[in-house]
Structure 1
């Protein structure tokens, strides 16, 4: 088997590290100025934690907004927990970084999108980030168009 550099997965790890660094700063210092985040994540991810009623309402993906009110932001090496308000019903969420599909800060027109990779299931518990895509095509990292978040 020939060895190659998997730039796609390396880029994804770097982008997730950027998200972790940004959220760690927000955890310590709060959201500066007009910054706020739209974070879309895969609700089917096995390590994502959310209330059953939210999982029922968003069976495949969910976009959350961290802006005016959020509480208890806790950032770890694997993901983050936060309490958000859903129609006057505060709910605690845990979002693993590898469940994140998009991360957007519209205040500065910044966005990241993580392309899905198809990986073979060989029964190993390895992280999908460490596996190559089936077709050996590197994963693309795209900037998200903010038009989809504008009203």
Structure 2
């Protein structure tokens, strides 16, 4: 079998991260439309992730946050998003690089993406500068709980849900 010098797996992963980036950018600019809300799972100790020491003790490997009603100051850049959430009544600011994200799920339409987090030092797929995503103004939302307090609260896609798994494309 020939060696994949193009790295289709990296290209596909980066393109789907672009979908996630665009969805979050739209949410930052306009709020969440209709019943849409997002479960985002990420590696809590990945490079560039910023959590309080309190949250890092609670979630030493991975963490799932829910962006639904109560979040604020959502800012999206080319390589990460930042958001304010409340955990046990204590406001926190999280910084989550897109490279640290393991999964994204919108249960309102049963759409999800699963990623293998990027390896440290991995070269971006196309070796081209990505389009810049401008920082977005704050969109305060405060009418319900926002963040998952336990990893078990992450919903699993139901049968028939559209989920794209990128690890199946990875060369074994």
- In the superposition, the TM-score normalised over structure 2's length comes to 0.68
Matches within 5 A, 1:128-139: 129=124
Q: What whole-Å deviation, never above 9, does each CA across 1:46-90 have from its counterpart, x for those lacking one?
A: 200011110111001000000011000000001000001111111
CA distance in 1, matches of 2:108, 2:95: 24
Is 1:146 the counterpart of 2:136? The answer is: no
Gaps of 5+ in 1: 120-124, 131-143
CA distance in 1, matches of 2:93, 2:123: 26
Residue aligned with 1:111, SS: strand
Residue aligned with 2:108, SS: helix
Residue aligned with 1:53, SS: helix
**Aligned position for 1:83:** 84
Gaps of 5+ in 2: 126-154, 159-172
**Aligned position for 2:133:** none
8 Å CA contact 1:72, 1:83 repeated in 2: yes
CA distance in 1, matches of 2:93, 2:121: 27
Following superposition, the deviation at residue 116 of structure 1 comes to 5.0
Residue aligned with 1:146, SS: coil
**Aligned position for 1:32:** 33
**Aligned position for 2:150:** none
CA distance in 2, matches of 1:29, 1:44: 30
Is 1:126 the counterpart of 2:121? The answer is: yes
**Aligned position for 1:96:** 97
Specify which structure has the bigger relative contact order, considering alpha-carbon pairs within 8 angstroms and separated by 6 or more residues: 2
Following superposition, the deviation at residue 3 of structure 1 comes to 6.3
Residue aligned with 1:107, SS: coil
- Dislocated runs of 4+, deviation >2 Å: 125-130
CA distance in 2, matches of 1:14, 1:89: 35
CA distance in 2, matches of 1:50, 1:9: 27
Distance 1:53 1:35, change over 3 A: same
Following superposition, the deviation at residue 115 of structure 1 comes to 2.6
Give the aligned CA root-mean-square deviation in angstroms.
2.0
